[in-house]
Amino acid sequence: MSKQMHDTPMLDKLESGPWPSFVTGLKRLAKDEGKPYQDMMVDLLGQLEHSYKTRKGYWKGGTVGVIGYGGGIIPRFSEVAAQYPASKEFHTLRIQPPAGMHYDTKILRQLCDIWEEHGSGLVAFHGQSGDIMFQGATSDKVQDAFNAFNDIGFDLGGAGPAVRTGMSCVGAARCEQSCANEQKVLRTLVNNFLDDMHRPALPYKFKFKVSGCPNDCMNSIERADMAVIGTWRDDMKVDQEEVKSFVAKKGRKYVIDNVITRCPTKALSLNDDDTLAVDNRNCVRCMHCINVMTTALSVGDDKGVTVLMGGKRTLKIGDLMGTVVVPFMKLDLPEDYDRLKEIAENTIDFFAENALEHERTGEMIERIGLVNFLEGIGLAVDPNMVAEPRQSSYVRMDTWDEEAQKWFDRKAEEQRMAVAA
């Protein structure tokens, strides 16, 4: 016979609002008669109600893992196990999702069946880390659950002071704005650092995120230590007939108010004949006009990626956006991907040797200075590197002529070497 449900008046109130509540899902699992996790979920609801009443959390960490791995499991042991014994252990397995988060229904059913057999049935697609979060396993079931996931091709993600699970957008599979092979970029980076993911040995976490265009649906510029964002360097493509059709449908006032005046660099203007004039030199790839006029405007043909470093949420210092360290690079040939791996390897090696404990890459850069960081990872200072549009962080304006000449000399040397090769 299953355990009796605890009284949960405070949790019940969370179901009374206009939006779906997580409490409803937990109660459904707690009422799954005959399931191995039923009692666990009954006591989990009881402990959660107890936490709401006392305004305290009652989970503590510990050490739980699987053979050969140093991370990927988030241990949770209850401090009120005497009151709620069935939920005394509620560990989470972080499982890496496929690049672009592509699943078919067969795989989804297999994942759910495994977790119903070995865990609580509670799954989150996807956590802030990017992982599939399988929440609620006892210590004796963690290895069995991992083995089952591994048998169908899935692996643990990162946790602790390690390379974390990477994320990429769905990209070219669904989005016409894609400027790069997002899935290949992600797999190239993550597969190269699996040891650093599974065996934590860094000062703190290091995250890769990949977005296929400057819309940056993965929020990589603000959440990733190394962000790779697709972009283009030629002119934006304009179908003037489609522009005219859009203006005829929406009206000139709508286009001026919602497209022209919202360009952050005033690079757009609407001609008298309802065609669009674009000052491509001043376009900063904000994507707003393309997002609004999707049939009339599209990304250019000379596509590649921009690499940024140091994005993070609040920790020792406030939120940081990623800083451009590679303004543009092509990703067409195997050598291009090798270069991307080299940049990542140099960055992680420098981070491992120079960051303080519990310090993110962006905080390290703030502490040691950007020029020192660029020198440490083997990248030359480039005036096209920016911390934000219209602002260069690395070139002092009082010595502009000298710095510009250095850049021109370096570009000329690169051209000579290319011709000689």
| For residue 329, pLDDT beyond 90 | yes
Q: Which amino acid is at 247?
A: V
Q: Element (H or E) spanning 161, and its range?
A: none
Secondary structure class of 163 (helix, strand, coil)? strand
Helices 334-354 and 182-192: crossing angle, nearest 10°? 50
pLDDT given at position 256: 96
- pLDDT tens-digit map of 137-173: 999 999 999 999 999 999 999 888 999 999 999 988 8
| For residue 22, pLDDT beyond 80 | yes
Whole-structure pTM value: 0.87
- pLDDT tens-digit map of 342-376: 999 999 999 999 999 999 999 999 999 988 999 99
Q: How confident is the model at residue 65 (pLDDT cuts 50, 70, 90)?
A: confident
CA pair distance 93, 39, nearest whole angstrom: 20
Q: Which of 6-10, 115-119, 123-127, 258-262 has the lowest mean pLDDT?
A: 123-127
Beta carbons of 247 and 273 less than 8 angstroms apart: no
- pLDDT tens-digit map of 43-55: 999 999 999 999 9
- pLDDT tens-digit map of 243-298: 999 999 999 999 999 999 999 989 999 999 999 999 999 998 999 999 999 999 99
CA pair distance 393, 386, nearest whole angstrom: 6
What average pLDDT is seen over the chain?
91
Q: Which of 206, 169, 101 is nearest to 305 (CA)?
A: 169
Phi then psi dihedrals of residue 354, to 5 deg = -120, -15
Cα 343 versus chain centre, distance: 18
- pLDDT tens-digit map of 173-222: 889 999 999 999 999 999 999 999 998 889 999 999 999 999 999 999 98
Domains of the chain with CATH codes: 1-158 (3.30.70.2500), 187-207+219-231+308-379 (3.30.413.10), 237-298 (3.30.70.20)
Q: What torsion, rounded to 10 degrees, do the Cα atoms 134, 63, 160, 368 define? A: 170
Whether residue 102 is preceded by a cis peptide bond, meaning omega within 30 degrees of 0, is no
pLDDT given at position 321: 87
Produce one character per residue of 383-401: b if its CB has 16 or more CB atoms within 10 Å, e if not: eebbbeeeebebbeeeeee
Q: How confident is the model at residue 394 (pLDDT cuts 50, 70, 90)?
A: low
Beta carbons of 49 and 7 less than 8 angstroms apart: yes
Beta carbons of 130 and 97 less than 8 angstroms apart: yes
DSSP tag of 323: E
pLDDT given at position 396: 55
Residue 277 pairs in a beta bridge with 269
Q: How confident is the model at residue 388 (pLDDT cuts 50, 70, 90)?
A: low
Phi then psi dihedrals of residue 391, to 5 deg = -140, 125
**69, HSE (Cβ side, Cα atoms, 13 Å):** 26
CA pair distance 156, 198, nearest whole angstrom: 8
